[in-house]
Amino acid sequence: MTRRFVAPGKVVVLGEYAVLDGAPALVAAVDMGVSVDVSPSKRRVVTTPTGDSSFVDACLDDLGIASGAWAFGTYNAPPTKTKPGLGGSAAAATVATFAGRAWLGLPTDPATVCEQATRLHHRVQGSGSGVDVAASSFGGMLRFVRGQTPTPVDAPPVVVVWSGNSAKTGPRVHQYNAWSDRTDFVRRSAELTDAYASDPIGTLRSAADLLESMAEQTGIAYRTPALDHIRKAAEAVGGAAKPSGAGGGDCAVAVLPDADALNAFRDALTGADMCILATQLAPGVREVPPGAQ
């Protein structure tokens, strides 16, 4: 019998870059991620949409799994031509770890899955805070601090906006890590992350300013015309928007004051490659019962 497992993707709302230095981040699990269908097979056969199985193989190897047909795919695939930057590799590592443990009858609690998947994802990728694996493992809106168990946060959800182009995180993280004078940036980022629940629009605007200033000082290619347009369009209707993650493309997150503002914001994106992604907050990695969506 085939068993299906799914893990959500993520958007970082606040705390990018500073999370690498131990500051808190706010991350939301979104219902666009990675699935795997597992069925019996005498030898292990792994398939992925891109042909790259490095992250999932590392997880299955770590568990000593030598059999089964493991067909990985997208879960609620976004309508983008290129990867949207929703933490696909982390979701893949998380769902592979969870499914592998379930297949072997091992515990699949979020903390155990997150610890193992984070270790293996970091081994393959070579960097990262683990915030994306935490979102895929625990789900919902989380306050994340590196090395600690994430905690759920009751905070306003965000609108997720595709900027129209993908971006690479690694080179930007390398530039950030080479910046020696970042103490004040880390402190201010932490303050803003913890202020979001009480003033989401004002906090998001301040965080956008802080990250743009950091990028200017470090030479990180953070802003793009599309991301600038998204921010201006949100602020024009009384809201706020900022890149989610490392910048340079991928997705932005926005908060709008009401439904009318959201509609006006959506209209301002019409005719461009950018668009609002129909995401919702998602639960963490899980097995999908037969016949369920």
pLDDT of residue 293: 54
pLDDT of residue 92: 96
| CATH tag, 3-154+280-288 | 3.30.230.10
CATH topology of domain 159-277: Alpha-Beta Plaits (3.30.70)
Q: Work out whether strand 3-14 and strand 25-39 pair parallel, antiparallel, or are unpaired.
A: antiparallel
Decide if 3-154+280-288 and 159-277 have a common fold: no
Q: For residues 171 and 286, is the Cβ–Cβ distance under 8 A?
A: no
Question: 70 by DSSP, 3-state: which?
Answer: strand
pLDDT in tens, 191-206: 999 999 999 999 999 9
Extents of the domains making up the chain: 3-154+280-288, 159-277
Task: Report strand pairing: 286-288 vs 251-255.
Answer: unpaired
Name the pTM for this structure.
Answer: 0.93
pLDDT digit string, tens, across residues 20-74:
999 999 999 999 999 999 999 999 999 999 899 999 999 999 999 999 999 999 9
pLDDT of residue 115: 96
Q: Name the 3-class secondary structure at 72.
A: strand
Place of tokens 């209707």: 237
pLDDT beneath 70, residues of the chain = 271-272, 291-293
